Amino acid sequence: MATRTRERLDFVAQLQRALPDRPAHLVVDAARLLMRHAATHGRLAVESCNGHPAQSSPTLDAKTINRLQDAWDKRIEKREAQAEKRITAICADLGLLPDFGGDPRGYTVKVHLPNHAYNTWGGAESGYGVPQ
């Protein structure tokens, strides 16, 4: 089984264990949505780190590149806020607390589970990373 698939299945199973009083089909649906929005959040973090593609263009002047970069940053901030709002709403329905990060090298979205399970180096206080 592929590592990514395994990680996603482990997340669903961990959410099921942490929320035994919730109907299984609702937990699975919530997990699917969390992973979907976490993927968007992670992709936006990568885009934010990489910057606008025009920055490597030798034909554009600095003023144009700065204007394009500003528009790029605003778009990413808006979409990131939308993703965080959706993730927070899903977590609120489940009684979980989300934690957001901007470093795309790890999990950009983590949730704090009632059973204090974790899959990150930060331990239980860091939370359980949502696969992207």
> Dihedrals φ, ψ of 130, to 5°?
-85, 120
What average pLDDT does the structure give for the chain?
92
pLDDT in tens, 27-67: 999 999 999 999 999 999 999 888 878 777 788 888 888 88
- In three-state secondary structure terms, 97 is strand
Spans of all domains in the chain: 3-129
| pLDDT at site 11 | 95
Average pLDDT over residues 6-23: 95
**For the sheet containing 109-112, what is the strand order?**
97-100, 109-112, 128-129
The pTM (predicted TM-score) of the whole model is 0.91
**Does residue 1 have a pLDDT over 70?**
no
Is residue 116 within 8 A of residue 58, CB to CB? The reply is no
